[in-house]
Homo-oligomer: A and B are copies of this chain.
Amino acid sequence: MKEIFSYDARLAAFKELIKKIEYLKYTLNSLVYWDKITYMPPKGIEYRTSVMSFLADEQYKLISGKEFAENVRYFRDNKKNDRVTDAMVRRICRNSKYISKVPEGEYRRYVELIARSEQIWETARKEKDFGVFKGHLEQIIDIFREFANFWGPSETPYDALLGYYEDGLTVAKVDEIVSELKPFLIDMIDQIKEAGELNKEPLLVPGVDRAGQEKLWTKILSRLGFSFEAGRIDVGAHPTILANSPADVRIVNSYREDELKPGIFNVLHSGGKGIYQQSIDEDLLGTFLAEPSSFAMEESIGRFYENIIGRSRGFWEYFYDDLCRTAPQMKKYTSQEIYRDANRVRPSLIRIEADELTYLLHIIIRYELEKDLINGSLSVEELQDAWEDKYKEYLGVVPGDDSQGILQDIHWAGGYVGYFPSYFVSNLAAAQIAAAIEKDCGSLDKLAAEGNFAVIKEWLTEHIFRFGAMYGTEELIEKATGKPLGSADYISCLRKKFSEVYKLHY
């Protein structure tokens, strides 16, 4: 840094350094991890684990090095009213706050633990035996209790973990959201039950092989605006998305051979996130800002495409012919019947297969348990019973085995502790964004029926996608929708749809 004096030259040099960190972060971590969950042969895991830990170390070295720190200090102290650079420095300081507070040895212990635990979780799930994973989960919870302590010692350690995923999110705020949502959701479900519409038999949907389903997914995502020149769909055990850059976005989908819906809704969810990633301004590469604003923001777009678009009447009208081409037996149903089926409400055991209405009850359960685990009022030993009790109480169902219960989510094994509550933010945000689009562009249902998905993608790109991580979630939502995040649109959106579907009296 010694010979570089001008602001511009310093900025160029700093961006070169950031690009290197991004190579490790976006491409290598995404690609190496993507391969791990899609194509890696089983025996590759041991060496892969070492490689991932090496990569984490290299990232850590660059980001905790002297050159990086000097640059951050310089640009923090020499503001030139350059929006991108200011946002970059803000984001770096925000993230480094979390990294710098964790000692290096502790961080490495975490990376190695997580690298191993996903495999063990998978074995446990296959064997339907929580016992196989329990010891690992204890270590994970312990390490996150330590992290919470490093990040912000408090009487509610869980706050620190919430804040990691979503700035400003606290147990107090989430409790308030939960207090609005829980009674609303339970009441809606009760009304549907009273109307005799709960747990209706699903439509008899035929099995379709992988190649047939993949063709349909590709068709749908292409129409929605996902570019297969800059991305692809592969199959893995758990649906997710990894971006190597806005020009290389990998959807990993999961599906069932005997049913079409899971694959479609999973791909809508990840595909929505994929469209987001692909639409980020590429000029933001080299600033850490070429990524979604936050997990919650990214998830909100996933929920938007999965639920608001994918579970609309118009969507099923528009894709009716494609669906019937994939599965000719579907012709015996009308698109209206398929739309109703897509919105069938049925309290169930598996979160990712849950309908829109019961989904947040699954999240509420995870939130309440995680909060107690981290705050210390629940042990991993007691977790399984607590899980079953809550499912019985809120949803009236009890898991037959651990794979349908406590082992269904990869989150804890993957180190995502404190992540579930951001699903509240994302579901609320999806509904609020939908309301804003309708104000500007008219009925989403009508746009979907016309296949006019380009208008939707354009609005989202203009107001949200292109900015990458330049703004925080709250700021971006307020900027895009004209008001702070609240639960009003979410509640009225669900009330409107389910009243219509089930002819309820609101």
A residues adjacent to B (C-beta < 8 A): 19-20, 23, 27-28, 31-32, 35, 39-44, 46-48, 50-51, 54-55, 58, 227-232, 234, 244-245, 247-249, 285
- Alpha-carbon distance between A227 and B28 when the two chains are bound, in angstroms: 26
- Alpha-carbon distance between A44 and B20 when the two chains are bound, in angstroms: 17
Residues of B within 8 A of A245 (CB): 44, 47
Q: Is the CB of A248 within 8 A of B40?
A: yes
Contact partner of A41 among B20, B32, B248, CB < 8 A?
A: B248
A471 to chain B, nearest CB (A): 24
Q: Is the CB of A39 within 8 A of B247?
A: no
- Alpha-carbon distance between A245 and B249 when the two chains are bound, in angstroms: 26
- Alpha-carbon distance between A247 and B44 when the two chains are bound, in angstroms: 5
**Interface residue SS majority, chain A:** helix
Contact partner of A47 among B35, B48, B232, B244, CB < 8 A?
A: B244
Q: Is the CB of B32 within 8 A of A248?
A: no
Closest-by-CB residue of B relative to A245 is B47
Q: Is the CB of B28 within 8 A of A50?
A: no
Contact partner of A229 among B28, B35, B43, B47, CB < 8 A?
A: B43
A232 to chain B, nearest CB (A): 5
- Alpha-carbon distance between A55 and B50 when the two chains are bound, in angstroms: 17
Residues of B within 8 A of A35 (CB): 31, 35
A47 to chain B, nearest CB (A): 4
Q: Is the CB of B229 within 8 A of A54?
A: no
Q: Is the CB of B244 within 8 A of A42?
A: no
Closest-by-CB residue of B relative to A53 is B23
Residues of B within 8 A of A51 (CB): 23, 27-28
Residues of B within 8 A of A27 (CB): 32, 47-48, 51
Q: Is the CB of A228 within 8 A of B41?
A: yes
Q: A23-B50, A31-B32 are in contact. Are A43 and B244 (CB under 8 A)?
A: no
Q: A39-B234, A230-B43, A232-B39 are in contact. Are A19 and B248 (CB under 8 A)?
A: no
- Alpha-carbon distance between A43 and B248 when the two chains are bound, in angstroms: 7
Q: Is the CB of A43 within 8 A of B234?
A: no
Name, among A54, A230, A285, the residue most crowded by chain B CB atoms within 10 Å (CB to CB). A54
Q: A39-B234, A227-B43 are in contact. Are A50 and B19 (CB under 8 A)?
A: yes
- Alpha-carbon distance between A154 and B44 when the two chains are bound, in angstroms: 45
Q: Is the CB of A32 within 8 A of B28?
A: yes
Closest-by-CB residue of B relative to A227 is B43
Name, among A39, A41, A46, A244, the residue most crowded by chain B CB atoms within 10 Å (CB to CB). A41
Q: A28-B28, A28-B32, A248-B47 are in contact. Are A42 and B229 (CB under 8 A)?
A: yes
Residues of B within 8 A of A47 (CB): 27, 244-245, 247-248, 285
- Alpha-carbon distance between A248 and B35 when the two chains are bound, in angstroms: 11
Contact partner of A248 among B48, B229, B232, CB < 8 A?
A: B48
Residues of B within 8 A of A43 (CB): 227, 229-230, 247-248
A90 to chain B, nearest CB (A): 25
- Alpha-carbon distance between A240 and B154 when the two chains are bound, in angstroms: 56
- Alpha-carbon distance between A44 and B250 when the two chains are bound, in angstroms: 11
- Alpha-carbon distance between A31 and B27 when the two chains are bound, in angstroms: 11
- Alpha-carbon distance between A231 and B50 when the two chains are bound, in angstroms: 18
Residues of B within 8 A of A58 (CB): 58
A312 to chain B, nearest CB (A): 28
Q: Is the CB of B41 within 8 A of A232?
A: yes
- Give the top 8 A-B pairs by smallest Cβ distance, nearest first: A44-B248, A47-B245, A43-B230, A43-B247, A27-B51, A23-B54, A43-B229, A23-B51
- Alpha-carbon distance between A55 and B31 when the two chains are bound, in angstroms: 14
Report 30 cross-chain contacts, Cβ distance below 8 Å, ordered by A residue.
Answer: A19-B54, A23-B51, A23-B54, A27-B32, A27-B47, A27-B48, A27-B51, A28-B28, A28-B32, A28-B51, A31-B35, A35-B35, A40-B248, A41-B227, A41-B228, A41-B231, A41-B247, A41-B248, A41-B249, A42-B230, A43-B227, A43-B230, A44-B244, A44-B247, A44-B248, A47-B244, A47-B245, A47-B248, A47-B285, A48-B248
A364 to chain B, nearest CB (A): 38
- Alpha-carbon distance between A295 and B504 when the two chains are bound, in angstroms: 73
Q: Is the CB of B41 within 8 A of A229?
A: yes
Closest-by-CB residue of B relative to A40 is B248
Q: Is the CB of A44 within 8 A of B234?
A: no
Q: Is the CB of A20 within 8 A of B232?
A: no
Closest-by-CB residue of B relative to A28 is B28
